Amino acid sequence: MPEIGLTILLALAGAGLALLVHRTFRAANARRLSRLAYFNRCKSLLTTPRLGQSVTGFPRLSGIYKGSECDLQVVPDTLTFRKLPALWFLISLPCPLPIRASLDLMIRPTGVESFSGFHRLPEQIAIPDNYPEDCAIRTDQPRHLLPEHILRPHLPLFDDPLIKELVISPQGLRIVFLAEEANRSRYLIFRDAEMGRTPISPHRIAPLLDRLLAIKADIERHSRHATRDAA
């Protein structure tokens, strides 16, 4: 009789373990599929869209937007000292620009922004008047920065409290914004930091791509005028 009871207990334990493994697998597969679908709605913005996958399981989308190459990616930040884990969205125009210095304007830098090269730039410069009060600016060549009149018209970009960073470099342009934070209740109670369940809206991305194109056009226009004046 004890042997029968032990057999039944072992069978129940085995069934419970199998159910747990099955549910864990289903949850992991659902998470993988939801992450892969994160850019599905944005494909319509681009011609010749190209979809890849990063090591985090999130996709990376590239293609042509209004004649210019663009790159979209997200970087999860789950560092424990943050109040909540975050999902950072990086919008880039990888293109050669007629400038010598890199400039990185970041709101409230902490020193551990895993998505950014902000702190690898060697020089921090004074904040000009009427720039965001809580920003910092770093560069690699302070003598060759863009004239302020080029960047200043684009500072309303930072009226959006979710915008984190603007990068202008000889290799291209980038805007970074906070796309999502982990659900507070699920994170505090269950340590569930899953993000990106809902695909990002193209209406969130298109205005920022347009902003990058406008900055690019202003830089190129300034370069043409400078070349003409020097001739």
171: phi then psi, degrees, rounded to nearest 5: -95, -5
Which pLDDT score is estimated for 28?
38
Which pLDDT score is estimated for 44?
94
What would the pLDDT profile of 173-185 be if each residue is shown by its tens digit?
A: 999 999 988 655 4
Q: Which residue has the higher pLDDT, 96 or 12?
A: 96
Contact between 141 and 170 (Cβ < 8 Å)? no
* Least reliable range by pLDDT among 67-81, 130-144, 169-183: 67-81
What would the pLDDT profile of 183-210 be if each residue is shown by its tens digit?
A: 554 554 444 457 788 899 999 999 999 9
At residue 29 the predicted structure's pLDDT band, cuts being 50, 70 and 90, is very low
At residue 90 the predicted structure's pLDDT band, cuts being 50, 70 and 90, is very high
The pLDDT of residue 83 is above 80:
no
**Neighbour order of strands in the sheet with 135-139:** 47-53, 59-65, 68-77, 86-94, 172-181, 163-169, 103-107, 135-139, 123-125
* Least reliable range by pLDDT among 14-18, 105-109, 176-180: 14-18
The pLDDT of residue 24 is above 70:
no
Query: 179-182 long-range CB contacts below 8 Å, 24 or more apart?
Result: 179/74, 179/87, 179/88, 179/89, 180/86, 180/87, 181/84, 181/85, 181/86, 181/87, 182/84, 182/85, 182/86
